[in-house]
Chain A
């Protein structure tokens, strides 16, 4: 079983749309959770950490459900610049485990 599973997409949405990404993880002992974004042939860049209480950063909202081992990311009012691959990342022990990423394209 994969440590982190994501729907690879692609998601193609119009500008201004709201889009949601989901992720599940397999190890209940995982300690920390993150969303990263990766542009083509670039390094992963931290978008936000994810907490059980949920957290929001501008147009981005992340949620963690430890009981279901489920993480989500909501992007409101999508911009063209949001087009990227969104990586669900889970820290277990001394490793960060990456999902395969969900591809988002925002269309004018």
Chain B
């Protein structure tokens, strides 16, 4: 079945970097954009950006530009999100999500139809 499986929980110190992986299975990895969304404890969902697994092209939310890098390894159908210069307020669950997208005469049709299970990243001294 179609699924995204993420790497395990991480504990990092302020100023360090973290790299979270998201392994796709059950579909053609390069046919769907992959997004990253985070959720701080007790807070809402925050979109971080996307990667086009086919081209490697990326687009990051403005507030993460300069600190986040999204990459992929098509040989193992895995996307990665690396966040650097970690701060205490980066403590959150990080999700990857597949974007289902198509365009027709009525416009664009984009939605996040498959999600990973989430990876807890804790920033603590």
> Does chain A bind chain B?
no
Binding site for B on A (CB under 8 A): none
Binding site for A on B (CB under 8 A): none
